[in-house]
Amino acid sequence: MGEKVLCENKKARHDYFIEETYEAGIALQGTEVKSLRLGKANLKDSYVQIEEQEALLHHTHISPYPYGHQFNHDPERVRKLLLHKREIRRLTGKTHERGYTLVPLKIYLKNGKIKIEIGLAKGKTLYDKREVLKKRSAAREMEKVMKSAKG
């Protein structure tokens, strides 16, 4: 079985330089799993914070399951991430460095389990964002010229 992306944070790669990525499990309630399988999640403003040797996922919106009724969950509750202790210690050290943060990149289904990919990220400045856009448009122009030269 492969991977099925359930939710992606497209803005993260635009706003941050992603240095490293980590795969983690998420401690979820039953209706959250069903809602995620329907693709009803949003990672837009979410972030990961390490508190008391635990990685916690904040501000991730998972919509209530439509057929859950009284068993439904709070859509924006804080969720625990399942990482090894050595990974948490390493991430704690890295996030104390200047400018580093932990950003969730995507939630996906892998071998029947829901996983989250988090990235160790450094914020981009407005100048960096403009530079990336210039490079991308220049590459697009080169592609266009190469295609017209071939054909």
CA nearest neighbour of 110 among 52, 43, 26, 50: 26
Name residues whose C-beta falls within 8 Å of residue 18's C-beta, 6 or more positions apart in sequence: 12, 103, 105, 119, 120, 121
pLDDT of residue 128 exceeding 90: no
Question: Is a pLDDT exceeding 70 seen at residue 1?
Answer: no
What's the chain's length in residues?
A: 151
> What is the percentage of the chain residues whose pLDDT exceeds 70?
99
Residue range 119-135: mean pLDDT, rounded: 87
Ramachandran angles phi, psi of 74, nearest 5°: -75, 120
Beta bridge partners of 58: 47
Structure confidence at residue 140 as a pLDDT band (50, 70, 90): very high
Average confidence (pLDDT) over 118-145: 88
Average pLDDT, the chain: 90
What is the mean predicted confidence (pLDDT) over 130-137? 88
State how far the Cα of 102 lies from the Cα of 96, in Å rounded to an integer.
Answer: 11
For residue 57, the SS3 value is strand
Q: pTM to 2 decimals?
A: 0.81
CATH topology of domain 3-124: Small Protein B; Chain: A; (2.40.280)
CB burial readout 119-143, b (16+ within 10 A) else e: bbbeebeeeeeeeeeeeeeeeeeee
- pLDDT score for 147: 87
Residues 6+ apart with CB under 8 A from 29: 73
Report residue 127 as tokens.
């100048």
Would you kindly state where each structural domain of the chain is located, as residue ranges? 3-124
Pairing state between β 16-26 and 79-82: antiparallel
